[in-house]
Amino acid sequence: MRGTPQAVEEEKRKLPLFKTEEAKGKVAFSLFSSSILVGICLIWAYRLSNLPTAGDRGRWLWIGMFFAELGFGFYWILTQALRWNLVHYYPLKFNLSQSSYKLPGVDIFVCTADPTVEPPTLVINTVLSAMSLNHPTEKLSVYLSDDGGSQLTFYALLEASRFSKLWIPFCKKFNVEPRSPDAYFTHNFDLHEHTAEAQQRLFIK
């Protein structure tokens, strides 16, 4: 059963999507934060040992400062729970490509307002770049929000929807980077190249 499609799928489900590593400099940070904790405790001890007696000028101001320092001190202590055990997460790209079913759904909103300030070609390149992301198609949605309601932007989006039927498969087949058409075609390619990618690139351009 190990070589069957079902067994292969089960193996993919077990693949980790990222690895976790502890941050460097943990000992140095522990010593540094410990010194700050000692300083906080000394401030509290000073406030308590020098508390003005009833009738002294500034008594309530002193008490107010003590409670403020007490609150900020406790807040600082609580935040150290994350900083003392700081870790970094690194995605495992190969496993991500093999385990697309684990990836979440993503909604991308591209906003525009004025076609004179934000040319439709710039907006549509952004839309096409987002649509071409290396993410499962059924889990990726791209929306264009045009506050100006420009007919020119709407027409450009219609043209882009037709062009995307060529552009997106090309990007995913040849792992094209960058995936914005304008940025990609400004590169200087070898005109004498006769590979399948070069022929497809010329056709799409």
Residue list, annotated binding site for UDP-alpha-D-glucose: 118, 147
Instruction: Summarize the annotated binding site as residue ranges.
Output: 118, 147
Structure-token pair, residue 76: 């600082």
Q: What are phi and psi of 22, to 5 degrees?
A: -70, 145
CB distance 129 to 110 below 8 Å = no
Neighbours of 47 (CB within 10 A): 16
Size of the chain in residues: 205
Pairing of strands 87-91, 18-22: antiparallel
Amino acid identity at 18? F
Beta carbons within 8 Å of 66's beta carbon, 6+ residues apart: 44, 47, 48, 51
